Amino acid sequence: MNSTVYVNGTKVGGRAYGYSQFTIDITDFLVTGENSIAVHVDNSMQPNSRWYTGSGIYRDVWIIRRAAVHIADNGVFAACNGLYNNKAEARFQIQVSVHNQSSEAADIGVEHRLLDAAGNEVARDASALHIEPGCHAAAVVCPSIKNPHLWSVGDPYLYTVETSILWKGEVIDNLCTRIGIRTVEFDVDKGFLLNGVQVKIKGMCLHHDGGLTGAAFYRETWKRRIALLKDMGCNGIRCAHNPPAPEFLDLCDEMGFLVMDEAFDEWQLTKFKSAEYGYTNNFAYGYGQFFTENADLDLLSMLRRDRNHPSIVIWSIGNEIPEQSTLEGVRILRHLQDLCHHEDPTRMVTSALDNLASPEQFRTREEFECALDVAGYNYTARWGKRAEMLYDEDRWKFPARRFLGTENPSAGGIRGNYEKKSEYPFMPSYDRLTLNHEFLWRYTASRDFVAGDYLWTGIDYLGETRWPAHGAGSGPIDTAGFPKDTFYYFRSIWNRDDTTLHICPHWNWAGYEGEFITVIGYTDCDEVSLYLNGRFIGTKGYDCPNVGHAGAWNILARNTRPTTHDLHLSWDVPFEAGELRAVGYKDGKAVIERVVKTTGVPARLQVQADTEALPLYGIAHIEIGVLDPEGLPVPTADILIKARVEGVGGGSAVLLGLDNGNLIDNTLFGSGARAAERRLFAGRLLCVIRGIEKGTAKLVLSADAMEDETITFTIG
């Protein structure tokens, strides 16, 4: 936030909003020989956000050398205009804006080649432009291709548009833009349609911090994190509550997510962020201070930067904006939404509304909710008795409305914590973590007109918490990127490509012999039988709604087994050390088995790196645990691990840090150090290293009374 850029000591520009991309032409400030570029960031006025924003430079910065006549910043917009002839033809509109900074008029050629994923040319088009000196001009072509390979969640196929500018017989500028061929629609009756096919959005909200790497963007960190979300069956991401790093959107394009790109958390009215978060003053220095002057600039920079990403299916102009209850808010909404439509006629616009059912003085104005292309419903579950029912009530009231759950309860919890009373504020115990979402999902899954939901959140995040916690535990994945039990709840209802059977808690309950332990199961099997040390405990299955489980509503014959109305299974089992075994059945056949055993004490370290060959400045994730003498991972281990990196063969690496996902372990992450230490939490710890010089580097992990584990990395 509040950056100022200097070249050779002269102020050349800057930007108030820390999430906006901006470009400065520094040509006139450069001198022959050595130059200095300095960025000053003033993040001193706190609080200025409701979550951890990071500070300084946390995304890529580029120096771009351009010809005097060049493609303008974010000047290419390639949009799929529609699919025709039963999807056998795709039509495009490719628009390019060219800037002539030379002193003469330029007659240029503009060429576009459309390349498939293998680099083969599948279409080509060209046009010509005359641009007066100092002016911009735009060229538009409308090519079409036959038998397009469509982009979808399950098959995110990408094409590239290669744009070249020719002047005086030479190619003077060239830009590659990745696109996907797909159509997106929000429909009054059918919810969301991708390529004309109804898809329920099973989305998650994410803030931009990567846990121990903070706000700095690392592609590998986010690839690891969202690959887990993908495996969980999540197909959508809401970038809360600001535009993300552009490379994050590249990953979403490549991995097939349905993205909501969001501009703001505040318009003119700043949000209250005081006593609740430990601040003693009432004033907040959020984006509200800059909105009136900068909103258009910041919204345009998001739209122009991001509009080619096939993953983005909808724009959001704001999260829980207090102006939703004012007439001035309606005016601002119309203005911002018009800007979106003007820059990008292919996508709809929403805003996440939290006051749709509030008392009169805060209630969202009807003009506000009705002006939006898609009405964004935040926390239907917060509305007490009416809860999800509000969707049905509103459908009667506003028959032309499009519905989307823009933010709703996820299921988080504390990984590996099975206390019935938790140390964390507002955290239910492990046996009831998924209930809120279960209510919502039964509802959303059975209403076609609701496009789906983005849940708060997919992954735990830094900030927005109370001491002694340093983050919010609202995700099924912790800050270290380890799945919690609730991860398997979502997987069991969302991932239709694989069988899920997960049981918890662990079975290390020495001292609790004979006491009842609640065993929770998450599965997509029809039923599950549980055994303790070979003795049959009981068989459980799901009842209603069977949607997403049996795949249909009308398979009544299946409901003759003992069932529950919940979307999880549970058994009360008197503890006895040994082995819990669960067997899952589909159509009467055993298809999956899971075993949880009582383990012995920690005997040796277990380490696993996701790569041992790092590109220069690349990173590796190393997952650490401990095994008992039988080789079983000890789920309760909390021993102290020491990590240090050593250069060998001239290479060099640093620790980006250690994290165990425990939000009340306030040991420093150890970022940028050669050595750091942290305890395992619930048996696990993550170490991240970064290669900073070519060669070879060693990571040594040690713990008391155990042998060291060493991993050797090649860098560069």
Where do contacts with ligand GAL occur on this chain (CB under 6 A)? Answer: 50, 241, 319-320, 354, 407, 456, 464
Closest distance to ligand GAL from the beta carbon of 583 (Å):
38
CB closer to ligand GAL out of 344 and 407:
407
State the CB neighbour count (10 A cutoff) for residue 272.
15
- 476-480 long-range contacts, CB within 8 A, separation 24+: 476/232, 476/410, 476/411, 476/412, 476/413, 477/225, 477/228, 477/229, 478/415, 478/661, 478/662, 479/211, 479/212, 479/659, 479/661, 479/663, 480/211, 480/212, 480/659, 480/660, 480/661, 480/684, 480/685, 480/686
Helix, coil or strand: residue 593? strand
CB closer to ligand GAL out of 205 and 676:
205
Closest distance to ligand GAL from the beta carbon of 333 (Å):
17
Closest distance to ligand GAL from the beta carbon of 319 (Å):
5
Closest distance to ligand GAL from the beta carbon of 307 (Å):
25
Distance in angstroms (rounded) separating the CA atoms of residues 6 and 1:
16
**Residue from 388, 407, 464, 527 carrying the catalytic annotation:** 407
State the CB neighbour count (10 A cutoff) for residue 299.
22
Torsion of CA 609, 258, 311, 619, to 10 degrees: -10
Which residues is 371 bridged to in the sheet? none
Answer whether the bond into residue 47 is a cis peptide, omega within 30°: yes
Closest distance to ligand GAL from the beta carbon of 265 (Å):
7
Q: What are phi and psi of 226, to 5 degrees?
A: -85, -15
Closest distance to ligand GAL from the beta carbon of 464 (Å):
6
Closest distance to ligand GAL from the beta carbon of 406 (Å):
9
State the CB neighbour count (10 A cutoff) for residue 136.
13
Q: Is residue 320 flagged as an active site residue? A: yes
CB closer to ligand GAL out of 37 and 435:
435
CB closer to ligand GAL out of 319 and 652:
319
Q: Which residues contact 47 (CB under 8 A, 6 or more apart)?
A: 273, 274, 277, 279, 284, 285, 286
Alpha-carbon distances, residue 639 vs 250, 627, 659, 703 (angstroms): 38, 12, 13, 7
CB closer to ligand GAL out of 320 and 524:
320
Which residues is 10 bridged to in the sheet? 7
CB closer to ligand GAL out of 173 and 407:
407
**Residue from 262, 320, 369, 388 carrying the catalytic annotation:** 320
Q: Which one-letter DSSP state was computed for residue 558?
A: G
Closest distance to ligand GAL from the beta carbon of 349 (Å):
18
* The two structure tokens encoding residue 386: 């009416």
CB closer to ligand GAL out of 74 and 319:
319
Q: Is 182 exposed, middle or buried (0-12, 13-18, 19+ CB in 10 A)?
A: buried
Residue nearest to ligand GAL (CB): 320
Distance in angstroms (rounded) separating the CA atoms of residues 360 and 240:
27
CB closer to ligand GAL out of 405 and 651:
405
The catalytic residue positions are: 320, 407
